[in-house]
Amino acid sequence: MNIENLEAFVYVVHFNSFNKAADALFLSQPSISARIQTLERELDVKLFLREGKSFSLTEKGKQFLPYAQQILQSFRKGKQQLRRELTTLHELRIGCTASVSAYIMPELLPLLKQMNPELQIKLLTAPSETIVEKVLQKEIDLGLVRNISHPLIDSVLFYEDPIRLYVHQNHSFTHHHPSTLEEIGGEKLVFFECGSLDWMKLHSLFETLQRPPVIDLNIDNHEAAKKCIAKGMGIGFLPDLCARREVGDNLLFPIDIPGLASISLRTNIITLKGEGAELRKRFLKLIGSFE
């Protein structure tokens, strides 16, 4: 049952007017009428007797009114309690992956402290699987991890970081950009492997090439990978966030290849199922400011 339909019913009774109820809820009169009709269909009863422009409550409407008022009051109290808990939150325990800890959290934490100056924050850096377990055990309140599905976890997309090809400043690609993946065939590759599905997609794309790139270095650390690329040891694929400073310093140069436009590193925000909705909303607002 939609709470907005109950609200429309209670407001019409309170003001004894469809028009006044519409004004109070910032809706049109037809919208109020539509909500009442939907509620009547859900309950399978008539709530109002309509006689021209006038109306009155039916017996069923009179019986239902106190329940509708109680439901609406409980809903509002619940919202107020959630907001009160959020504003009086003294400690927030966050778990995140290494890349989120290195490149996203230093931008988000100052924003979070501005919004909640008294808030104490504990940050744990660990693999996605560990963060999920910590959320399930209620050892942390919120996690920022790669896309993981679990029946006891609520998960929504938090940030999508494009994966692009990067080369050093003296590479020929800085002057003649490749337009297809085929054109990087035979190049020496510094491959940063973080284990997500998007990196597996890259491997699958390489397998389709007649002359795939040569993986000279396979590295599980993004800092080491980008330094090797900057020193000319090969070209490589990196998430945009981790290479921002080097791009600004003209040490790395991003190369856009149309066939790779859909590949990105996805970070999801997770909380225990049925909990943390307000926290997720707060963090989603923060990432909007960060971008």
Residues 186-199 have pLDDT tens digits of 788 888 765 554 56
Q: Tell me: the pLDDT tens digits for 107-156?
A: 888 888 887 788 889 999 998 889 999 999 889 999 999 887 788 889 99
Rounded distance between C-alpha atoms, residue 131 and residue 104, angstroms:
16
Give the pLDDT of residue 262. Answer: 72
Give the pLDDT of residue 125. Answer: 94
Q: CATH 3.40.190.10 occupies which residues in the chain?
A: 91-156+267-290, 160-265
What confidence category does residue 26 fall into, taking pLDDT thresholds of 50, 70 and 90?
A: confident
Lowest mean pLDDT among 27-41, 42-56, 72-86: 72-86
Q: Is the pLDDT of residue 1 over 70?
A: no
Do 226 and 202 form a contact (C-beta atoms < 8 A)? no
Give the pLDDT of residue 269. Answer: 93
> What is the fold, at CATH topology level, of the domain defined by 160-265?
D-Maltodextrin-Binding Protein; domain 2 (3.40.190)
Give the pLDDT of residue 35. Answer: 92
Return the closest-CA partner of residue 271 out of 146, 95, 135. Answer: 135
Give the pLDDT of residue 256. Answer: 87
Q: CATH 1.10.10.10 occupies which residues in the chain?
A: 3-87
Residue-averaged pLDDT of the chain: 84
Q: Taking the domain 3-87, which CATH number applies?
A: 1.10.10.10
Q: Tell me: the pLDDT tens digits for 196-234?
A: 545 667 767 777 777 777 777 888 788 898 899 999 999
- The upper half-sphere exposure of residue 1, i.e. CA atoms within 13 Å in the direction of its Cβ, equals 19
Give the pLDDT of residue 291. Answer: 55
Q: Which architecture, in CATH terms, is 91-156+267-290?
A: 3-Layer(aba) Sandwich (3.40)
Lowest mean pLDDT among 35-39, 191-195, 264-268: 191-195
What confidence category does residue 90 fall into, taking pLDDT thresholds of 50, 70 and 90?
A: confident
Return the closest-CA partner of residue 164 out of 231, 88, 89, 246. Answer: 246
Give the other-Cβ count within 10 Å of 134's Cβ.
17
Q: Is the pLDDT of residue 237 over 90?
A: no
